Structure 1
Amino acid sequence: MTGIRLTSDELRLMSLFQSITTVTARDCVIDEKMDRVIFIIDKGDMGLAIGRNGSTIRTLQSMIGKRIELVEYADDLAEFVKNIFGREVVLDVKIGNHSSNGKVVTVIVDPRKKGMVVGREGRNVEKARLLTKRYFDVANVIIRGQEASI
């Protein structure tokens, strides 16, 4: 997480997150465009952060007044992308370099689930772009449906 600077609002939200969930957040991103706060947490802390039947996260959402989204951190870019979208919907992650644009991630999904992966108003893709740029200096994230093999 070197080179990432947190604002005082992000630090305050991370402190509140820890006091409510007892989970230490690695990072916090306030996404004004999509009216949400994204917390990056360590692997294995998701259940504790969400709470029984989602009670802990609902409490936090009502206190903050914004939608809360959680992502488990991974050192590996492909694993991190799978954590962002959900392992059950991602079939493959391809990482390439485009000479002019930089690093590009292509996420291969079941074509029937592509809409769910992209999310309403592209919110899931936007989250992936924000986080992969922040941690891995990725220029773009592309979602593709897997073509049926003949």
Structure 2
Amino acid sequence: MSREEREKPQVKITPEEFRYMTLLHELTGVHVLDCVIDDENNRIIFLVKPSEIGKAIGPKGIFVQTLKKMLNKNIEIVGYSDNIEELTKYALAPARVKEVKIAERPGGKKIVYATVEPGDKAIAIGKNGKNVARARLLLNRYFNIDTVIIA
């Protein structure tokens, strides 16, 4: 087992997350890989295969809107990858990420620096930092990343 594999956290899905995953699967037929409840931003983030994002959202966003009404939370669909660079790009979409660098600080803190197209910086950060918070949540869950910095 490589050092990187040993350092990857074990993702534990709570019963509530599992119920939400089942709900999205039954509604769309999409294989839902993970679900993160972000109470701070009143949202549920679903991770699906990148090729199934459109199917999960539904025509004109119908499935996202249906779940939003049912659960009274914002719904976000993000592509999943077990590659840190790809997951960073999916988590910051629709911002166009040009480069992803990972740095480790003394004490073991890990930081991701994501360089985006100059016109996409505001999109990557999001209103009140919501999009960068989504990236940090997901990258922490899968890769123990403590901070995400948009450049």
Q: TM-score, normalised by structure 1?
A: 0.89
The aligned counterpart of 1:15 is 22
Equivalent of 1:113, from 86, 111, 120?
120
In the alignment, does 2:119 pair up with 1:86? no
Asked if 2 retains the 8 angstrom alpha-carbon contact of 1:41 and 1:73, the reply is yes
**Which residue identity does 2:135 align to in structure 1?**
A
Aligned-pair identity (%): 38
Q: Name the SS of the counterpart of 1:55 in structure 2.
A: helix
CA distance in 2, matches of 1:2, 1:44: 25
Higher relative contact order (CA 8 A, sep 6+): 2
CA distance in 2, matches of 1:121, 1:101: 28
**Which residue identity does 2:81 align to in structure 1?**
A
**Which residue identity does 1:35 align to in structure 2?**
N
The aligned counterpart of 1:64 is 71
CA RMSD of aligned residues (A): 1.6
Kindly indicate which of the two structures has a greater share of residues assigned to strand.
Answer: 1
Equivalent of 1:125, from 122, 127, 132?
132
Asked if 2 retains the 8 angstrom alpha-carbon contact of 1:101 and 1:139, the reply is no
**Which residue identity does 2:41 align to in structure 1?**
M
CA distance in 2, matches of 1:84, 1:105: 12
**Which residue identity does 1:89 align to in structure 2?**
R
Q: Note the C-alpha offset of 1:2.
A: 6.2
Tell me the alpha carbon deviations over residues 113-142 of structure 1, each in whole angstroms, 9 at most, x when there is no partner: 211210001000111111000001112110
The aligned counterpart of 1:27 is 34
**Which residue identity does 2:71 align to in structure 1?**
I
Tell me the alpha carbon deviations over residues 82-124 of structure 1, each in whole angstroms, 9 at most, x when there is no partner: 0111265211111121122422110111333211210001000
The aligned counterpart of 2:3 is none
Runs (5+) with no aligned partner, structure 1 = 145-150
CA distance in 2, matches of 1:20, 1:101: 41
CA distance in 2, matches of 1:38, 1:19: 17
The aligned counterpart of 2:10 is 3
CA distance in 1, matches of 2:114, 2:9: 26
Runs (5+) with no aligned partner, structure 2 = 1-7
CA distance in 2, matches of 1:115, 1:87: 11
Q: Note the C-alpha offset of 1:45.
A: 0.7
